[in-house]
Amino acid sequence: MPRFQEVAASQPLTPGGGGLVAKRYSILQNLGRGSFGSVFLVQDAKAADGEKLKVLKQIPLGDLRPDETVRATQEAQLLSQLHHPAILTFYHSFLERAAFCIITEYCLDRDLDCKIGEVRRAGRSLPESQVVDWLIQLLLGLRYIHDRRILHRDLKAKNIFLKRNLVKIGERPLSQLSFWSFVTFRVFSVGSNRFGRDQNLWPV
């Protein structure tokens, strides 16, 4: 089960820098950097599911208040309990190099926004059967999280990923504290004017 743990500090993360992160992840590529931290493509030496390529998001602890660090551990525990084909897999979280690190599923086919852009630039349109297939997957994923009283706060094409023609609801890794897009209904109360199931259906 994914877990939150503390790992001893070492050298800064760099592609090809040698050594393993958390004794299992080797850095392959820097995918981006923002004010919050950095995102890397990594290879998992202990992958048990055949999915060796994963995404590592590194957030410096100096950028987080103590209450935010606590919140991060709570949200990490929440996401570790989500297991559905249409939900981006959250594998692992830990502390290393004075940073909070998150390991998530890697989607080679990028996101739905990129796919739509490619099709438009080519002067084509997506087949109706493909759109229906993705829509069904998306709705099944939303029903799964709603049944667990969880809401996605920023559902849009950029946060819907594609992997081998499967839809994966998640959030772009360069967003600030990406896993915080999932919040429990209990936090914002069911049926309130601020958040509810309908909010996830409007974007669809």
The predicted model gives 117-127 an average pLDDT of 96
Tally of domains in the chain: 1
Q: What is the pLDDT of residue 72?
A: 75
* Spatial CA neighbour of 56 closest among 20, 4, 126, 104: 104
pLDDT tens per residue, range 141-186: 999 999 888 888 788 998 899 999 999 998 765 444 444 455 544 3
Task: Judge contact between 140 and 86, C-beta under 8 A.
Answer: yes
Q: What is the pLDDT of residue 61?
A: 82
Catalytic residue IDs: 154
Considering the chain, what percentage of its residues have pLDDT values greater than 70? 74
pTM, two decimal places: 0.75
Checking if the pLDDT of 125 tops 50, the result is: yes
- Bridge partners (DSSP) of residue 57 are 39, 102
Q: What is the pLDDT of residue 107?
A: 93
**What phi and psi, each to the nearest 5 degrees, are found at residue 196?**
-175, 175
Burial 23-49 (b: 16+ CB within 10 A, else e): eebbbbeebeeeebbbbbbbebeeeee
Q: For residues 53 and 182, what is the distance between their CA atoms, to the nearest angstrom?
A: 23
Residue 96 or residue 121, greater confidence: 121
- Bridge partners (DSSP) of residue 166 are 163
* Spatial CA neighbour of 37 closest among 81, 102, 90, 128: 102
Q: The CATH number of the domain where 159 resides is what?
A: 1.10.510.10
Q: Which domain holds residue 112?
A: 4-201
- Bridge partners (DSSP) of residue 49 are none
Using 50, 70 and 90 to split pLDDT, how confident is the model at 133?
Answer: very high
